[in-house]
Structure 1
Amino acid sequence: MLKASLDFARRHIVLFGATKFAAGLIIGFGLGVYFLPILTAEEGLDEAALASLQTSIERSGTFQRDLPGSDAFHWGEGTIMVSRDRIWLDGAIAPGPDYRLYLIPSFADDEASFLAIKDRAVQIAEINAFNNFSVMVPAHVDVSAFPAVLIWCEAFGEFITAAELS
């Protein structure tokens, strides 16, 4: 009887340990996916660089935290500026993995409205900084043909923020 009880306890201890180990791996992987981009983020533009770009602004818009698709973990705030060959932000976006900047054919303020037009959107660049970032516009893209800009998390299919350009 004692041997059967010990075998039963041993199996359950091993099962508990294996489950705890697997849960730790899953949680660790999830945290790594989220925090790695934050730890490896590039430095954003400093005030002098932002000031030097001001003369080339063709259009601009405002990222706001209160968009229907934004939440406590997915947001942007500040002024997004567009020139013929560059798009830059004087502000911040929520940190996260695999962010992409899109020029979009109509304003989208949540995931569903972006997914409805994503096939007509133009991906401009990956975003590797979360404050005052700057990305180059590919030469073949006519920025004047797009009335809005959007930031999207490709890894998780999450809307981050968007702005209408004027």
Structure 2
Amino acid sequence: MTHVLAVAVGFALGVYFLPILTAPAGPDRAVLEREAQDALFVAELTRDLRGSDFLHWGEGRISVSTDRIVHDGKLAPGPDYKLYLVKQFVEHEDEFLPLKAEAQLIGDVKTFNGVVLSVPEGVDVTQYTTVVIWCEAFSEFITAGQYR
């Protein structure tokens, strides 16, 4: 029984720490500031959302322009994060899951201390109101910010 427990704990720690160990370095502050200069909208990410907890959170500033989305802040490390745009504010997975089919996937979030993602061609950010960071592997809400 102790061996099974040890393997389970080791697996859980591996799932948690592997993204931290393999994550590329995030962009430096000068790059984040430059990329966010022409933002049309700005939103704040906070840890006090209903769906956030000590393992799933984000903080900082999200800047949204027609061709890129910039996060200047920190995210709890984890695997398989995605950034989505949705048309209404959500703060928990039970609010996001019904909207996920209509959500616009922007891209993979691979760093936890700053992100710059290109908005896919044909996506109009003014048709959405909220940025959501979601853990695809575990269907976990990480954070969200309403920019409009």
Q: TM-score range by the shorter chain?
A: over 0.9
Q: 2:15 aligns with which of 26, 29, 33?
A: 33
In structure 1, distance between residues paired with 2:16 and 2:69: 25
SS in 2 for 1:53: helix
Alignment-mate amino acid for residue 45 of structure 1:
P
Q: Percent identity at matched positions?
A: 48
Which stretches of structure 1, 4 residues or more, deviate above 6 A after TM superposition?
none
**Structure with the largest fraction of helix:** 1
Shift of 1:20: 3.5
Shift of 1:23: 3.1
* Partner residue in 1 for 2:34: 52
Count of matched residue pairs? 148
Is 27-36 or 150-159 further displaced after alignment?
A: 27-36
Shift of 1:105: 1.4
In structure 1, distance between residues paired with 2:96 and 2:113: 23
Gaps of 5+ in 1: 1-18
Asked whether the equivalents of residues 36 and 64 of structure 2 are also in contact (C-alpha less than 8 Å), the reply is no
Shift of 1:51: 2.4
Give runs of aligned pairs for residues 133-148 of structure 1, distance below 5 A.
133-148=115-130
Matched, 1:98 2:80: yes
* Partner residue in 2 for 1:150: 132
Shift of 1:133: 1.2
SS in 2 for 1:56: coil
In structure 2, distance between residues paired with 1:80 and 1:51: 11
**Structure with the largest fraction of strand:** 2
Matched, 1:79 2:99: no
* Partner residue in 2 for 1:6: none
Gaps of 5+ in 2: none
In structure 1, distance between residues paired with 2:50 and 2:30: 34
After superposition, give the CA deviation of every residue in 1:80-111 in whole Å (9 maximum; x if it has no partner). Answer: 01111111111111111111100011110111
Is 25-34 or 139-148 further displaced after alignment?
A: 25-34
Q: TM-score, normalised by structure 2?
A: 0.93
Q: TM-score, normalised by structure 1?
A: 0.83
After superposition, give the CA deviation of every residue in 1:121-159 in whole Å (9 maximum; x if it has no partner). Answer: 011111100011111111121111111010111111111
In structure 2, distance between residues paired with 1:69 and 1:79: 18
